């Protein structure tokens, strides 16, 4: 079922589509993002080095666009309708300014981020001006 859903959202070759669920399951198993550790949790009887090379090829050749990923996450939700929330956390992290635009799906009062964008300087204000038909 997941492979069919991924085929619907991503225009990838079947080998890459089948690789993504393996990566997701492996990430949950090993609870780390270290590539060689993830490769140890891949299904099948191939050597770990073969799984690692497959993972390297996937990471090298596949670009997952955040907008496609957000669409996929929403499609996986078991609801007919969802509440979306837009937030703009802004502040300082030590001496570094942070300014994000975050889109979240709200479930039982908890917002789960599905898409975020780092904003440079006053980007959001410019977006609001453009949305209203003004010029930046």
- pLDDT single digits (tens) 64-86: 887 788 888 777 777 777 788 88
What is the C-alpha to C-alpha distance for residues 89 and 92, in angstroms, rounded to an integer? 10
**Which pair of tokens denotes residue 12?**
């990838």
pLDDT at 37: 94
> What are the counts of helices (DSSP H) followed by strands (DSSP E) for the chain?
6, 4
* Residue 128 · residue 88 · CB < 8 Å: no
The predicted model gives 10-15 an average pLDDT of: 88
pLDDT at 136: 44
**Which pair of tokens denotes residue 90?**
């802004």
Q: In this structure, what are the phi and psi dihedrals at residue 52, rounded to the nearest 5 degrees?
A: -65, -45
Name the most confidently modeled range: 5-19, 35-49, 54-68, 95-109: 35-49
What is the C-alpha to C-alpha distance for residues 131 and 136, in angstroms, rounded to an integer? 11
Lowest mean pLDDT across 15-24, 42-51, 52-61, 98-107: 98-107
Residue with tokens 């570094």: 96
CA distances (Å), origin 71, targets 60, 88, 104, 125: 23, 20, 12, 25
């Amino acid at each position: 079922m997941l492979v069919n859903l991924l085929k619907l959202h991503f225009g990838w070759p079947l080998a890459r589509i089948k690789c993504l669920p393996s990566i997701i399951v492996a990430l949950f198993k090993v609870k780390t993002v270290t590539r060689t550790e993830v490769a140890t949790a891949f299904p099948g009887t191939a050597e770990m080095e073969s799984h690692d090379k497959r993972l390297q090829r996937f990471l090298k050749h596949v670009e997952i666009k955040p907008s496609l990923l957000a669409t996929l996450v929403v499609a996986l939700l078991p609801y007919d309708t969802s509440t979306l929330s837009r937030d703009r956390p802004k502040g300082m992290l030590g001496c570094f300014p942070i300014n994000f635009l975050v889109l979240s799906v709200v479930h039982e009062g908890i917002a789960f981020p599905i898409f975020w964008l780092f904003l440079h300087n006053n980007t959001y204000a410019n977006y609001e001006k453009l949305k209203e038909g003004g010029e930046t």
